[in-house]
Structure 1
Amino acid sequence: MEVCRLNVMKRSALLAALCFTGSAVAATPFTFITNWYAQAEHGGFYQAKAEGLYEKNGLDVSIRMGGPQVNATQLLVAGQAQCIITDDIGVMMANKRGLPVQMVATTFQYDPTVVITHDDVKKLADLKGHTVLISASAHSSWWPWAKKKFGFSDEMSRPYTFNIQPFIMDNSVAQQGFMTSEPFALQKANAKANVFSIGQEGYPPYGNSIACRNDVIQDHPEQVAAFLKATMQGWKDYLADPSQGNALIKKANPNMGDDQIAYSVEKLNSSGIITGGAAKTAGIGSITDARMGKTWQMAVDNGLFSADDVKLNKVYTTQFMSDIKVLP
């Protein structure tokens, strides 16, 4: 095993994990919960597992699938996982409730939520006055931002039931979606549509962020560092050749078809959602003070919480990703 020569003793545990290249010591159990059923959007985690990158970094990682009935944050604070996939606003709202959760990294450099319109709508501002189908969670995340930016109103919104048929049947309706999901379903249905990325329209949060329990961050920073280091290398490898990760994804979720996976991988590569933005120079998964501050300010301005209720410096830490630099 390589020995890391550290100059700053208080960071020795963290840097030791980053320099770790192998050991005869048994791997440490580590549970990670995703935000949905296994899919290409989780490819880097499954790739790292398939390639043995977690084991090489001293961890025995179990990846648990999320889903519509899984409250990952609740399971996290109950001690059933060390880290989860969540979103920036979700971490801030958890902080408001006094839950000991902190964001440590991201997967996507911008939010993968899209607004899908019929082809007569050329820009999102043109949707003013139309019906837009949105999820319940949108009201406490991107919808308040869209109301301010584009002049939308709550009267425009209707519940989205994760079914594309209402959109197909009504040319006056728009809907939200996920960059790699609903556009693919509409393509298979031969339905013409325009797709607008809210992240690329200026919505500041990251996407598929990674959050961990505060006690894990404080007491076992070497585990968090090892997990993130292996994960970011897994993402780099997955984008280059996803075959190993896809095999584990399909094993965990047999309903995931090859055509859906292929579509998603192509979008993950072509959009730059993983390798663009700060990831180009700071490394895959990186987060910045500026972006987190912008998201926090947006949430405060939109009345999601007050500046007194949620302190920005309690929401996230860059202590891990500042030392991990897996460049695309």
Structure 2
Amino acid sequence: MKAALLLRALTAALLASVLVVLPAAAQEKQGEKQAEKPDKQEKLDKVSFGTNWVAEAEHGGFFQAVADGTYRKYGLDVTIVPGGPNDNNRMLLIAGKIDFFMAANTLMSFDAVANHVPLVSIAAIFQKDPQVLLTHPELKITRLEELKPLTLFVSKEGIAGYFQWLKSEYGFDEKNVRPYTFNPQPFITNAQSAMQGYVTSEPFAVEKAAGFKPGIILLADHGFNAYSTLIETRREVIDKKPDLVQRFVDASVIGWYNYLYGDNSAGNAMIKKLNPEMTDELLAYSVGKMKEYGIVDSGDSSRDGIGAMTDERVASFFNKMAKAGVVRSDIDYRTAYTLRFVNKGVGLDLRPRK
């Protein structure tokens, strides 16, 4: 159902056809002031933003910022280019055909460094990766270690990514793994199994198909501390148009606050128009799970605003992935991201008071 992780499989051969060597980024200035919101601007800057899958609630804040005029308030005319099973918007970003891209998780950022691709993550919209393993409710599983004896339905991309971390940190064994083909039926019929998914969608699909609510183990709550739904751009865009980058990040953050905590009907209407499979029920479920599990707004975002990132968090995840053999330990992972455009507290006034 989800194909975001497919985009992480960059290869040198594929990149060679589009990759252009760009100048190294200029040294970043710290403490840069937040871009001013232009209330009135005669000419809007045209911006294109590619998502990594078809329109859905997990992209809601971006659609909300288009639909409610937030991007326009920041002087931007934004076109969202939806992804899909036969699309690769990240390659369009590399080729200079679009301006920004929504990367699945931090592993993609590390992969760009390893392949000498001049892309930089500039904001992390999801503080938690929504990757989960689902279980049958009668097993009453609450700890990740309890999954080890079960048959595990894991995708090819999952085996190359998070499952290597499960082996390294928790001693999981690939002998129990069976291919996950984005069809929940094998899991539903095998009570002694677990299935991968996103907390925002697969539990809903299983409940509709099987009539039971599956148990949910969110990997992010057990140490898989990747950022997810990152905004990426090319180094040249940062160097030449830092004000535009700041405005796009700030407006996207505002869009996400409005989508989560305000009237999100305008954003949802855009999503449903682009993807009729997104029902009101599923959209509401996905938003509810994003809130319940703190996918977008938790941890550092409580203090620094949605989109927050820290050096310590990226270093921690890199060390785990290097230990698990998922990424090369000799790459300069620090070039994969920048804190220049985040951690400014943008939109915190829109957060509900507790």
Provide Cα deviations, 1:42-68, integer angstroms capped at 9, x if missing partner. 111011001111111111111011122
Secondary structure of the corresponding residue to residue 248 of structure 2: helix
Moved more, 123-132 or 239-248: 123-132
- Cα deviation, residue 324, structure 1: 5.1
- Corresponding residue to 2:163 among 137, 143, 152: 143
Secondary structure of the corresponding residue to residue 70 of structure 1: coil
**Structure 2 CA distance for aligned equivalents of residues 50 and 68 of structure 1:** 25
1:162 matched to 2:179: no
Aligned to 1:277: 299
- Corresponding residue to 1:77 among 94, 101, 105: 94
Secondary structure of the corresponding residue to residue 199 of structure 1: helix
- Cα deviation, residue 25, structure 1: 3.3
1:116 matched to 2:134: yes
Aligned to 2:79: 62
1:225 matched to 2:246: yes
**Structure 2 CA distance for aligned equivalents of residues 267 and 192 of structure 1:** 13
Aligned to 1:7: none
- Corresponding residue to 1:248 among 270, 273, 279: 270
Aligned to 1:88: 106
User: Contact 1:168–1:191 (CA<8 Å) still a contact in 2?
Assistant: no
For normalisation by structure 2, the TM-score amounts to 0.85
- Cα deviation, residue 109, structure 1: 0.7
- Corresponding residue to 2:310 among 288, 293, 314: 288
Moved more, 21-30 or 250-259: 21-30
Aligned to 1:215: 236
Return the letter of the residue paired with 2:168.
Answer: K
1:315 matched to 2:336: yes
- Cα deviation, residue 307, structure 1: 2.8
Secondary structure of the corresponding residue to residue 272 of structure 1: coil
- Corresponding residue to 2:68 among 16, 39, 51: 51
**Structure 1 CA distance for aligned equivalents of residues 127 and 113 of structure 2:** 22
User: Contact 2:50–2:90 (CA<8 Å) still a contact in 1?
Assistant: no
For normalisation by structure 1, the TM-score amounts to 0.92
Aligned to 1:4: none
**Structure 2 CA distance for aligned equivalents of residues 48 and 136 of structure 1:** 34
Provide Cα deviations, 1:94-124, integer angstroms capped at 9, x if missing partner. 2111111111111111110000012315122
Provide Cα deviations, 1:127-168, integer angstroms capped at 9, x if missing partner. 213221111211232111111222111212221111111111
Return the letter of the residue paired with 2:182.
Answer: F
- Cα deviation, residue 192, structure 1: 4.0
- Corresponding residue to 2:208 among 188, 197, 216: 188
Aligned to 2:16: none
1:202 matched to 2:223: yes
- Cα deviation, residue 188, structure 1: 1.6
Aligned residues: 316
Provide Cα deviations, 1:73-111, integer angstroms capped at 9, x if missing partner. 212101121111111101111211111111111111111
Return the letter of the residue paired with 1:156.
Answer: N
**Structure 2 CA distance for aligned equivalents of residues 148 and 257 of structure 1:** 39
Return the letter of the residue paired with 1:155.
Answer: K
- Cα deviation, residue 322, structure 1: 3.2
- The runs of at least 4 aligned residues of structure 1 exceeding 6 Å deviation read none
**Structure 1 CA distance for aligned equivalents of residues 345 and 239 of structure 2:** 18
Return the letter of the residue paired with 2:290.
Answer: L
Structure 1 gap segments, 5+ residues each: 1-9
**Structure 2 CA distance for aligned equivalents of residues 109 and 232 of structure 1:** 13
- Cα deviation, residue 11, structure 1: 6.0
Aligned Cα root-mean-square deviation (Å): 1.7
- Corresponding residue to 2:122 among 89, 104, 120: 104
Moved more, 182-191 or 46-55: 182-191
Aligned to 1:298: 320
Provide Cα deviations, 1:17-40, integer angstroms capped at 9, x if missing partner. 711323433111111111111111
Provide Cα deviations, 1:195-248, integer angstroms capped at 9, x if missing partner. 100011110101211111111111111111111100111111111221111111
- Corresponding residue to 1:236 among 213, 233, 257: 257
